[in-house]
Structures are given as structure tokens and as C-alpha cells.
Structure 1
């Protein structure tokens, strides 16, 4: 995925914003206070949502570069340093969307379970750096997590049934 393994860039944050301006996912890899986060979301949401569809997917912002791409009704945005490679970040966004597509069937605001979208993002990025470029590996890890969640639900249901029987 990353063309030069000796070059590592830092993603400062990831935002998923709906066309209506609602924030659906935020992941912060650089320290921002809650007040700063709110201001960043408001500012960038306004900038990105008001850009024409024929403009490029890179925005210079506060000495950084924000790379974004719209899929269905969601804007996927990542903030990087000014001298980092925008095309690699677009590729990471597309990679993330492909993994979400595999898991949810299609990327749309209605179909996404955002708790799982966070989990998938955590499998892909670690501390703002690309962690796993293999879609198969990410899919395998997600399937294993699904299995653990299902097992935990079954065990909780069994325990609830045992308690219900005991209290009758």
C-alpha cells in the first residue's frame, strides 16, 4: 500500500461527516482539547461541505492539508502535514471504504454501524499511521471480533436464562 516503507506520515485526525454536516465518526491522533475539536469540526465541515464537486479533494487548512473524498452521503476526511503525500492518503481513504463495503455491503449512512466503523479504522490505522494494508487480514480480524461478540452474547443470554429459572 505505502510505496516507500522508509517514509511514514502522520494522520492527525479522521472525520466522517454527512452531507447535512452531522459528524458520524471522529478519531484524533494528535492532541486537541475538546474546545479545539469542536472548532475544527465546525470549520472543516463548513469548508468541505461548501466546496464544489469538481474541485480537488485537498484543502490547505491551518498549515495542514486535509484530504477528503465523498462516498454516498459521507465525506471521509483525513488531516496530514503540508508536505505529506495526498495521493497516499486518498488511497488509505479508499482502502478504508472498500473494507467497510465488504463488511456492511455498501457504505451509506444508513447501513454503517459506527461502533464497528471505529473498530475497522483501528485495525487499519494505529496512532495515525497505516497499520494494515491487507484487506483480507482486516476482514479476518473483524470476523474474529464478530465471533467473539456473538459468543459473548450467547453466554450472556445463557446466564440470563439460568438466573430467570433460578428466581422463579
Structure 2
């Protein structure tokens, strides 16, 4: 089971967090501080797995972001690296060569993509095409709601004149 997902920039800024196990806000802050210090200080030639507090943390650096997932000690590390890579591939496909700014300005879409992949810390959908189709459907619903809202506000504006 995945306990949490962290996306951290090289400067130590948190870009995305998703918690699947209960942590208080104080514990979350402490976890982020500990793990960002641990992961960012490791050399590029070292392995992408760290044992931490009885858990395993698998991480992978893509461009300026570190994608970290904390799992149970007995989980397969290579599977977690594949889930991270799968998430990055879907982000790349959606944003067209995803970068840190895409995640900053469109964090809600990154969360939606992550929610399509993982539920309760377990892999839900392994098909990139299915996730892309679901995201496109969500985007069309959002656009339809925006159009409806603008047409309603136009009708209200005309009625109040």
C-alpha cells in the first residue's frame, strides 16, 4: 500500500502531496521536512530506495522534480518505480512535456490524474488510454459548466438592465 505521494522540487518546495494514511498536520510537516532533506541530499548515482521509519520510500527525479512514494516495507520497490513512471508518462501526455510550472498552475489537474491512477494507496487504473479518456471527459464537463455559467450570467445581466 502507498501511504503518501510527494512531489518535491530540487529547492525543497512541495509541489504536490497526497496522503492515503492518517497523519496529523504536524506529522505531515515533519514527514515532508525529513524526507525532502533525505532525498535531496542523496547523490544521483545512489539507488532510488530509502528505508525510513520502517517504511520504504521509492523516489525518482524527472527534470527538476522528485516524485516520492512511501510504501510498506514488504512492497515491491520496482513496482512503485513503475507507478511513478506511469504517472509521469500520463502527465507528459496530458501537458505535453510536463514541467514544474504545469504542476504549479494546474495542480488541480495533476491531483485529478493522480486520483484516476491511485485509490486508497492502491493502483486503480493501469491503462494510459483510459486515464486520458477520463481526463478529457472531465475537461469537457468543466468547459460545459463554464459555458453554462457565462450564459446564465449574460441572461442575468440582460434581465437587470
Q: What residue ranges of structure 1 are gaps of 5+ in the alignment?
A: 1-9
Q: Deviations over 1:35-79 (max 9, x none)?
A: 100000000011111111111100110010000001111110000
Matched residue count:
159
Give, in whole Å, the separation in 2 of the partners of 1:24 and 1:68: 15
**Post-superposition offset of 1:135:** 0.3
Q: So what's the TM-score if we normalise by structure 2? A: 0.97
Whole-angstrom CA distance in 2 between matches of 1:39 and 1:100: 28
Query: Which residues of structure 2 form unaligned runs of 5+?
Result: none
Query: Larger % of helix: which?
Result: 2
Of 146, 155, 161, which aligns to 2:154?
A: 161
Query: Aligned match of 2:23 in 28, 32, 51?
Result: 32
- State the 4+ residue runs in structure 1 displaced beyond 4 angstroms: none
Q: CA RMSD in A?
A: 0.7
> 2:75 — aligned with what?
84
- Which residue does the alignment assign to 1:119? 112
What is the aligned counterpart of 1:139 among 121, 132, 135? 132
Distance 1:142 1:166 in 2: 36
Alignment pair present for 1:148 and 2:141: yes
Is the contact made by 1:72 and 1:107 (CA closer than 8 Å) also made in structure 2? no
